[in-house]
Structure 1
């Protein structure tokens, strides 16, 4: 998949970025897709075929909200990642979703980022990426990430990753959408100066 999705954990936030193109085979269907879903106060960045990502994220959205309505309790980031992993594992045995995800949130235990793939593996990470873009961005994030990363530094790293993709990747992925989740909730930021 010629997609790029990446994220970083900062001092008290998580930042995610994803390209905005939706494609089928070699055809670009649209270039304004939002691949970072907000479910309650968590972010789910999802890559894969547009039908699978849409169906799976809508399914997650409805079931996580149903849990909150039934219990009156909101799921933690870890609980959301575990629920998502269980759903991917169950689907793997009957009708798998071809999706890879980054699940981000900031709750009582602090900021957290989880890396999940279509085979239902899950891992808590400080930086993660999916798609072909991961080949170009993981090295930059390894080089510049640090535990006390500020928001401005994280945005600079995201811009470096996008610049690297624009320079080295053979396919033009177009525009990118970038969202941040922290204790105050979710917000979208503009990357163009």
Structure 2
């Protein structure tokens, strides 16, 4: 659903993923504490937006299969390999009678080569590695900010401030109220939560 907002930014040593926490159905907000960031492995997350039932079912299916791979082989899939598996699953269902209508960001860190990775994938299973991306109408207001202010060598604090700037712009410019954003960081230490961003700013 384009009313949702997913933001991902890749830096040299880590990836930041932020998602709004609102579960919107038609004209109603049904939840204000929704978690749209799903942990797939110790160094990989997937932020999912789309049809309510599809997002949960698809995320759980991918997460369980990645965990099954680790149990069978004794090691985890690297982020790029997990992306290929996810894309294959999405494209296979696209050609069936039960397609998944989901758009997602996959962010992770590959400890084997000390590299952070971020991928965008749409419901047609088109996948692109990116330095930053924003899904939904919020992307119309935030991509230009990241074009201007993004640097791959930014610190965690600077990256977090860049996210706050983007979310503040969404608050000012977007007619839909998305007051809170959940933020997670993925680095060589693993996955951890950062403080929730409360959108600030008055409408223009």
TM, length-normalised to structure 1: 0.97
For 1:143 and 1:53, how far apart are their aligned partners in 2? 32
Structure 1: gaps spanning 5 or more residues: none
For 1:153 and 1:191, how far apart are their aligned partners in 2? 16
Please tell me whether residue 22 in structure 1 is matched to residue 34 in structure 2: no
- Residue of structure 2 aligned with 1:148, choices 114, 133, 153: 153
Please tell me whether residue 102 in structure 1 is matched to residue 90 in structure 2: no
Contact kept? 1:159, 1:191, Cα under 8 Å: no
Matched with 2:121 is 116
Contact kept? 1:7, 1:17, Cα under 8 Å: yes
Contact kept? 1:24, 1:49, Cα under 8 Å: no
Matched with 1:164 is 169
SS of the aligned residue for 1:43 comes to strand
Matched with 2:187 is 182
Contact kept? 2:181, 2:197, Cα under 8 Å: no
Contact kept? 1:11, 1:150, Cα under 8 Å: no
For 2:35 and 2:159, how far apart are their aligned partners in 1? 20
For 2:54 and 2:25, how far apart are their aligned partners in 1? 12
For 1:166 and 1:129, how far apart are their aligned partners in 2? 15
For 1:180 and 1:54, how far apart are their aligned partners in 2? 21
Name the Cα RMSD after superposition.
1.2
Q: Report runs of 4+ in structure 1 exceeding 3 Å deviation.
A: none
Contact kept? 2:103, 2:121, Cα under 8 Å: yes
CA offset digits 1:113-157 (Å, max 9, x no partner): 011000000011100111111111111111111121211111011
For 2:22 and 2:108, how far apart are their aligned partners in 1? 24
Contact kept? 2:180, 2:196, Cα under 8 Å: no
Q: Which structure would you say has the larger RCO, counting Cα contacts within 8 Å and 6 or more residues apart?
A: 1
TM, length-normalised to structure 2: 0.92
Contact kept? 2:38, 2:47, Cα under 8 Å: yes
Count of equivalent residues: 193
Structure 2: gaps spanning 5 or more residues: 199-204
Q: CA deviation at 1:11?
A: 2.0
Q: Evaluate the alpha carbon distance shift between residue 122 and residue 192 of structure 1 in structure 2; reply closer, same or farther with a 3 A threshold.
A: closer
Contact kept? 1:68, 1:74, Cα under 8 Å: yes
